[in-house]
């Protein structure tokens, strides 16, 4: 074998070695990397497919910060709801209480409640008499139980009306209002329309009150409704020149009709 043949053999041996090296490098280095990348691409494509599906269904993808912010917002809403419920309970406390006995205990006996109710009515009638305010024949909406002993089914709504009536009388007897005549307090007024936006939170107890008073006391009257411990919502206030009534002779006297309702919270 001459030198030329040896050179040719070395060349082909080199070529063969190179091919073997490249093949081995591909098999042991490149191919695993390629397979790994292919799997990554498949995972990404699968994720993208799912994201497209979520998007078509209207789902939204949120970041961790967004989720934390929403959780904080929900906690704040929960806190504010609890605070509002406490507020409503406090506002409703006056309306929900039951007459108490002499020792201050809440009455649980129907007959004893009836006696206490009658006593409360007489106290209010005495206040009106001392203030020298005239009344129409059926001015006050107090219930006459006669010999009947009411059940709690009737006591509860009547008790609420009593507290409202008591508050209305206390308002109109204030000196600065100069009320001279009470024509009537009436509940469950016909054709009463309420724009009550709180139907999930409370019921309403509608009423009208009709009085004759000095025109200068009108603003005091409205103010007393607004600052009352009972939640009054005024619908309308109608004012007209007063029709002359017995013992009421004044050019400044007007007849006032207030249509309103009380919020009776359910909480």
Q: Does 179 score more than 70 pLDDT? A: yes
Residue at 69 is within a domain: no
Residue 211, pLDDT above cutoff 50: yes
Distances 257 to 96, 137, 239, 245 between C-alpha atoms, Å? 27, 17, 7, 16
The CA-atom distances, in angstroms, between 137 and each of 128, 170, 242 are: 14, 20, 18
Reported confidence tier of residue 88, pLDDT bands at 50, 70, 90: confident
Q: Are residues 46 and 164 in the same domain?
A: no
Q: Once rounded to an integer, what is the mean pLDDT over residues 207-212?
A: 96
**61 vs 142, higher pLDDT:** 142
Domain that holds residue 55: 3-59
Number of compact structural domains in the chain? 2
- At 150, which CATH number? 3.30.70.60
Identify whether residues 121 and 51 lie together within a single domain: no
Q: Are residues 47 and 96 in the same domain?
A: no
**Using CA atoms, how far apart are residues 192 and 198, in angstroms rounded to an integer?**
17
Residue with tokens 């050179």: 7
Please identify, among 38, 59, 80, the residue that sits at the C-terminal boundary of a domain. 59
């Amino acid at each position: 074998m001459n030198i030329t043949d040896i050179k040719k053999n070395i060349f082909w041996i080199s070529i063969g070695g190179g091919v073997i090296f490249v093949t081995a490098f591909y098999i042991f280095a490149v191919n695993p990397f390629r397979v790994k990348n292919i799997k990554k691409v498949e995972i990404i494509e699968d994720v993208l497919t799912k994201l497209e599906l979520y998007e078509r269904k209207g789902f939204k993808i949120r970041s961790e910060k967004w989720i934390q912010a929403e959780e904080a917002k929900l906690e704040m809403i929960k806190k504010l709801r609890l605070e509002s419920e406490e507020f409503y309970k406090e506002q409703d406390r006056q309306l929900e209480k039951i007459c108490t006995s002499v020792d201050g205990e809440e009455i649980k006996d129907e007959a004893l409640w009836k006696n206490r109710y009658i006593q409360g009515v007489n106290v209010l009638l005495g206040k009106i008499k001392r203030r020298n305010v005239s009344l129409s024949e059926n001015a006050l909406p107090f219930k006459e139980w006669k010999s009947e002993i009411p059940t709690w089914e009737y006591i509860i709504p009547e008790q609420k009306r009593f507290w409202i009536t008591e508050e209305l009388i206390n308002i109109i007897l204030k000196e600065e209002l100069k009320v001279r005549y009470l024509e009537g307090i009436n509940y469950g007024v016909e054709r009463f329309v309420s724009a009550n936006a709180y139907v999930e939170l409370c019921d309403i107890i509608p009423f009208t009150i009709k009085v004759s008073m000095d025109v200068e006391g009108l603003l005091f009257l409205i103010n007393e409704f607004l600052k009352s411990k009972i939640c009054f919502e005024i619908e309308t206030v109608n004012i007209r020149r007063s029709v002359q009534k017995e013992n009421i002779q004044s050019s400044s006297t007007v007849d006032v009709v207030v249509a309103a309702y009380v919020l009776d919270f359910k909480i």
